[in-house]
C-alpha cells in the first residue's frame, strides 16, 4: 500500500485489564499477558507474527493485530484488545513505510522506538517515493528480520540464546528453499513479462526474473485508492489481450470494480491469473505460504507456455 493511502484507526472502548484476547495470531491465540519466562510480542500482521513465533518458539507469546486472510490491511480498524496487547508487549513488529500506520498510533506511549522492529528501516532499502513496502515478499529483508529477532529475543532471555539462533537458522534454511524455487523459475521462465494489479508480490516476481509491464499509472491509482484513469484502464486491458504477458498477479484482498475488470479481461484473453495475498492464509505458516506462492507462480507460467 502506498504511504499516501492512510490506514483508518478506530480503537474501541477501554476494557478491563483482565480481558484476554481471542485466538488470532499467526503464531496462535495468546493472552495479553505472556506466561512467565516468555517474551510478549505484538505484530501488525500475522505475517510478522508467524515469523516471530518461528524464531521464538515456546519462549514467545505472539499477538497479531491483523490476523484474518480476508482482512483488508488498507482499511483496518484496530480494537481495544489490540490496544491492550500493545500495552503488555515487550517487543513490537511493524512493517513501516506507510503500510501499517495504525501500529505506530497504537504503540505511541506504550512501546519505545527501540522496542519496535521497523521492517522498512531494517531492510536497508531506499524508502523514497517509489518504495515497495510489501517487504514480506523480499527474501533478503526477511533474513535480516530473522537475525534481528533472534538477537532481540536473546537479549531478553539470554539463557535461551542458542535456541533462538538455531531456530533462526532453521527458518533461514526454509527461506533458502523458497529462493531455490524462485531460481528454478528464473532458469525456466526468466525474462517473461507479467502484469500486476498492485506491487504486493513484486519482490518475489523480480527474484524469479520476471518483468513487470503494468502501466505505472495503473498501480499508482490502485495503491492510492483512486479510480484508474479511463485511458490507463484501456491500456491495461489492451496489454492483457495483446498476448505479450505470461500472467496477471492479482491482489484479491484489495479487489475493486476496476481490478475485477482487469481480472475478467485476463481470463477472457486466456492469461493465467495468480492470486497473492497480504496476510497469511488460514492454517498456513509463513514458509508454507511462500512455497505455495512459488508453486502457484510456476504453475501459472507453465500454463501460459502451454498455450
The yes-or-no verdict on residue 31 having pLDDT over 70 is: no
Distance CA 44, CA 59 (A): 20
At 53-70, the pLDDT tens digits run 999 999 999 999 998 877
In the chain, CATH 3.40.50.1980 covers 39-165, 178-305
Spatial distance between the Cα atoms of 79 and 76, rounded to a whole number of angstroms: 10
pLDDT class for 34, splitting at 50, 70, 90?
Answer: low
- CATH architecture for segment(s) 39-165: 3-Layer(aba) Sandwich (3.40)
Q: In what order do the strands lie in the sheet with 211-212?
A: 211-212, 193-196, 247-251, 273-276
Q: How confident is the model at residue 3 (pLDDT cuts 50, 70, 90)?
A: very low
Q: Which of 82-86, 91-95, 123-127, 253-257 has the lowest mean pLDDT?
A: 253-257
- Fold annotation for 178-305: Rossmann fold (3.40.50)
CA 184 to CA 178: how far, in whole Å?
Answer: 10
pLDDT interval class at 196 (50, 70, 90): very high
Is residue 171 within 8 Å of 58, Cβ to Cβ?
Answer: no
Question: How confident is the model at residue 37, as a pLDDT?
Answer: 85
> Higher model confidence: residue 89 or residue 254?
89
Is the pLDDT confidence value at 19 over 70? no
- Please state, in angstroms and rounded to a whole number, the distance separating the CA atoms of residues 303 and 270: 10
- In this prediction, residue 67 carries a pLDDT of 87
SS3 letters for 110-141? CCCHHHEEEHHHHHCCCCCCCCCCCHHHCHHH
Q: What is the mean pLDDT of the chain?
A: 88
Given a cut of 90, is residue 26 above it in pLDDT? no
Report residue 74's pLDDT band, with 50, 70 and 90 as the boundaries. low
What is the structure's pLDDT at 77? 77
**Which region among 19-28, 61-70, 298-307 has the lowest average model confidence (pLDDT)?**
19-28
> So what's the pLDDT on residue 7?
35
pLDDT at 14 over 60: no
Amino acid at each position: 500500500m502506498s504511504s499516501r493511502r492512510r490506514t483508518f484507526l478506530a480503537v474501541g472502548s477501554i476494557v478491563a485489564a483482565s480481558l484476554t484476547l481471542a485466538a488470532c495470531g499467526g503464531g496462535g491465540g495468546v493472552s495479553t499477558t505472556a506466561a512467565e519466562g516468555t517474551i510478549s510480542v505484538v505484530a501488525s500482521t500475522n505475517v510478522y507474527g508467524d515469523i516471530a513465533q518461528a524464531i521464538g518458539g515456546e519462549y514467545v507469546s505472539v499477538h497479531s493485530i491483523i490476523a484474518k486472510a480476508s482482512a483488508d490491511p488498507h482499511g483496518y480498524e484496530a480494537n481495544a484488545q489490540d490496544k491492550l496487547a500493545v500495552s503488555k508487549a515487550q517487543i513490537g513488529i511493524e512493517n513501516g513505510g506507510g503500510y501499517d500506520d495504525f501500529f505506530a498510533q497504537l504503540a505511541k506511549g506504550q512501546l519505545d522506538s527501540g522496542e519496535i522492529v521497523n521492517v522498512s528501516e531494517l531492510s536497508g532499502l531506499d524508502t523514497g517515493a517509489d518504495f515497495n513496502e510489501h517487504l514480506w515478499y523480499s527474501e533478503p529483508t526477511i533474513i535480516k528480520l530473522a537475525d534481528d529477532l533472534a538477537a532481540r529475543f536473546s537479549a531478553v532471555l539470554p539463557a535461551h540464546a542458542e535456541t533462538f539462533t538455531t531456530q533462526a537458522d532453521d527458518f533461514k534454511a526454509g527461506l533458502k528453499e523458497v529462493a531455490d524455487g524462485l531460481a528454478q523459475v528464473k532458469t525456466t521462465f526468466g525474462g517473461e513479462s507479467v502484469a500486476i494489479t498492485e506491487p504486493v508480490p513484486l519482490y518475489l516476481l523480480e527474484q524469479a526474473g520476471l518483468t513487470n509491464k503494468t502501466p505505472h499509472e495503473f498501480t499508482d491509482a490502485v495503491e492510492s485508492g483512486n479510480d484508474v484513469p479511463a485511458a490507463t484502464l484501456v491500456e491495461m486491458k489492451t496489454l492483457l489481450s495483446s498476448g505479450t504477458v505470461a500472467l496477471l498477479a492479482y491482489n484479491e484482498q484489495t479487489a475493486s470494480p476496476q481490478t475485477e475488470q482487469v481480472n475478467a479481461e485476463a481470463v477472457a484473453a486466456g492469461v493465467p491469473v495468480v492470486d497473492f495475498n497480504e496476510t497469511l492464509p488460514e492454517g498456513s505458516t509463513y514458509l508454507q505460504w511462500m512455497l505455495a506462492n512459488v508453486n502457484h507462480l510456476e504453475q501459472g507460467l507453465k500454463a501460459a507456455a502451454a498455450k
